[in-house]
């Protein structure tokens, strides 16, 4: 890394990664109050199903939260918009939760248009980091009702990669949709995050040609987001793959070679962690030249979170945020915009959408 031309300390992304503990501590009280009102509203509206919608990282929030909660269904806006016939004709009264850092991405707007036209009876909850966005300001036509939870300004990441926006939306939605106690838990997570960020091992992991992230339950979604973080921040120069601990054996393990680093997320649930530990041991035995790192309770990189996999997911993802940013800088890339605006942009725009009559 050329510290004169691309020091990490001068990158917004690096600062945004390290700001997460302070954000969670200061947000705990206001979040608990607002989330309590939202929970009461949801209980009164009694939706028959709840969709968790977003695109890219915002979609993976749904993958994390829907694990273990039968009321919740992860429905990426990219699926909703491209195949509305699969979703919009469902019976009953539902709640659509949309996540968005910018709140103005192409699919966010298209999803609002579809709901306005075809499901104005369904309720909406928008969780966004941008108070001026469409998700924050656009009124619903009714008769469905709408609520907005706007996150602290510090979560509106200016870097290309979503970091504090992802983690804080996960925790905010978990508090709004369940009995999760933000006042008690967010300081615990902040302490755990600071301990992780101080781990010397994070600075010693060299960039591999391939990085594979494995997790079970809610941490499968965390593995998916981790793979995306490294892929984005290294501009595709480190190819990534993600899977569940058990699913990895069913074909995807073919991706492992001597130039691969496999990161296995040890679930805080002791039963589930057995399967995570088994796949780590199996890879080490079958591929002795392949680097394997376990993350979590008792792992190579320990974590001491809340014990709730959905709440602890941001801690596991933080590892990939740190590694991706460091590897990006070592490659000489602009960490805050690895693609320099050429192929990918911070906010997806310019997508062609087509009218749907239903």
- In this predicted structure, what is the pLDDT of residue 358? 82
Tell me how far apart the alpha carbons of residues 166 and 168 are, in angstroms, rounded to a whole number: 6
Q: What is the pLDDT of residues 289-338, one digit of tens each?
A: 999 999 999 999 999 999 999 999 999 999 999 999 999 999 999 999 99
Residue 120 pLDDT > 50, yes or no? yes
- In this predicted structure, what is the pLDDT of residue 6? 47
Q: How confident is the model at residue 5 (pLDDT cuts 50, 70, 90)?
A: very low
Residues 6+ apart with CB under 8 A from 112: 98, 134, 135, 138
Q: E strand or H helix at 99, and its extent?
A: strand 94-100
Q: What is the pLDDT of residues 156-167, one digit of tens each?
A: 999 999 999 999
Average per-residue pLDDT for the chain = 95
Tell me how far apart the alpha carbons of residues 283 and 256 are, in angstroms, rounded to a whole number: 9
Q: How confident is the model at residue 357 (pLDDT cuts 50, 70, 90)?
A: confident
Considering the entire predicted model, what is its pTM? 0.95
Residue 1 pLDDT > 50, yes or no? no
Among 111, 104, 293, smallest CA distance to 212 is for: 293
Which residue intervals of the chain are DSSP H helices? 12-18, 20-45, 57-66, 77-82, 106-118, 134-137, 164-177, 182-197, 218-233, 270-286, 309-330
- In this predicted structure, what is the pLDDT of residue 312? 98
- In this predicted structure, what is the pLDDT of residue 265? 98
């Amino acid at each position: 890394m050329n510290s004169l031309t691309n020091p990490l300390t001068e990158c917004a992304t690096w600062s945004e990664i390290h700001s997460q503990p302070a954000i969670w501590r200061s947000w705990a009280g206001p979040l608990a109050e607002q989330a309590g009102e939202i929970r009461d509203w949801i209980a009164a509206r009694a939706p028959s199903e709840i969709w968790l919608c977003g695109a890219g990282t915002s979609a993976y929030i749904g993958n994390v939260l829907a694990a273990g909660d039968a009321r919740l269904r992860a429905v990426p806006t990219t699926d909703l918009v491209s195949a509305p016939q699969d979703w919009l004709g469902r019976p009953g009264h539902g709640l659509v939760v949309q996540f968005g850092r910018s709140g103005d991405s192409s699919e966010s707007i298209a999803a609002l248009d579809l709901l306005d036209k075809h499901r104005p009876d369904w309720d909406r909850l928008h969780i966004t980091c941008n108070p001026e966005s469409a998700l924050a300001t656009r009124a619903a036509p009714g008769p469905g009702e709408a609520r907005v939870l706007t996150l602290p300004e510090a979560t509106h990441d200016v870097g290309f990669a979503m970091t504090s926006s992802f983690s804080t939306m996960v925790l905010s939605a978990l508090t709004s949709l369940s009995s999760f106690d933000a006042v008690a838990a967010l300081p615990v997570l902040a302490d755990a995050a600071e301990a992780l960020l101080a781990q010397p091992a994070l600075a010693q992991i060299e960039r591999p040609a391939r990085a594979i992230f494995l997790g079970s339950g809610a941490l499968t979604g965390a593995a998916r987001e981790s793979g995306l973080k490294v892929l984005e921040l290294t501009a595709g120069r480190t190819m990534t793959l993600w899977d569940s601990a058990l699913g990895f054996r069913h074909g995807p393990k073919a991706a492992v070679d001597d130039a691969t680093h496999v990161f296995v997320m040890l679930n805080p649930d002791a039963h589930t962690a057995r399967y995570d530990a088994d796949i780590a041991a199996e890879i080490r035995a079958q591929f002795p030249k392949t680097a394997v790192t376990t993350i979590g309770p008792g792992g190579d990189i320990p974590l001491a979170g809340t014990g709730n996999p959905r709440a602890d997911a941001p801690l596991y993802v933080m590892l990939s945020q740190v590694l991706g940013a460091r590897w990006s800088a070592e490659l000489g890339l602009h960490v805050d915009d690895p693609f320099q605006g050429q192929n990918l942009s911070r906010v997806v725009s310019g997508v062609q959408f087509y009218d749907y009559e239903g």
